[in-house]
């Protein structure tokens, strides 16, 4: 539907310079909300959320607004660890309980607008965790919420 609406707008624009109907000064107003895909901004919001969790005490984790869709799925090193936003937040709370404070180094975000996803590479470190090198693929819903996380990690050298 959005492609059809865009094609109609482009056709009207092309028509405007060559057609007598352009003299009628017709205004075209889109009938549906057009959401811009911005996987880089979505991934940055996800990383800001993880950074915030790394800074706050455990009892504050549930108070931070999360960026997940209700049916968000997380797979970590091949195992499904969450099938909803509630499970995802609980999994992060458990990690917070085990590892306390954490920080990130060398965050690299590679967005893909055509698939509305982003790949993120970073090193995470904490006293209880050590240093891990992490590679994630985030897939986003049209509203920018995270709908899937595929994550692999290994000890950083």
Written as one string, the DSSP assignment of 110-147 is: EEETTTTEEEEEEEEEETTTEEEEEEEEEEE-TTS-EE
Tell me if the pTM is above 0.85: no
What CATH number was assigned to the domain covering residues 39-155? 3.10.450.50
pLDDT digits (tens, 9 = 90+) for 66-84: 999 999 999 999 999 999 9
Report the side by side order of strands in the sheet with 79-82: 79-82, 68-76, 146-155, 130-140, 117-126, 103-112
pLDDT digits (tens, 9 = 90+) for 37-73: 899 999 999 999 999 999 999 999 989 999 999 999 9
What Cα–Cα distance (Å) separates residue 44 from each residue in 24, 123, 145?
45, 15, 12
Provide the residue ranges of all domains of the chain, joining segments of one domain with +.
Answer: 1-34, 39-155
């Amino acid at each position: 539907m959005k492609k059809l609406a865009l094609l109609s707008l482009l056709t009207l624009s092309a028509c405007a310079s060559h057609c007598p109907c352009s003299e009628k000064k017709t205004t075209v107003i889109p009938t549906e909300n057009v959401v811009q895909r911005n996987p880089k901004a979505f991934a940055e919001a996800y990383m800001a959320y993880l950074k915030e969790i790394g800074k706050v005490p455990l009892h504050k984790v549930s108070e931070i607004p999360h960026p997940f869709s209700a049916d968000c799925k997380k797979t970590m090193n091949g195992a499904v660890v969450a099938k909803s936003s509630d499970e995802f937040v609980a999994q992060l709370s458990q990690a917070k309980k085990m590892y306390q404070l954490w920080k990130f180094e060398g965050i690299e975000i590679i967005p893909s607008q055509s698939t509305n996803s982003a790949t993120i590479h970073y090193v995470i470190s904490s006293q209880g965790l050590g240093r891990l090198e992490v590679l994630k693929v985030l897939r986003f819903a049209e509203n920018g919420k995270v709908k899937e996380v595929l994550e692999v990690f290994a000890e950083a050298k």
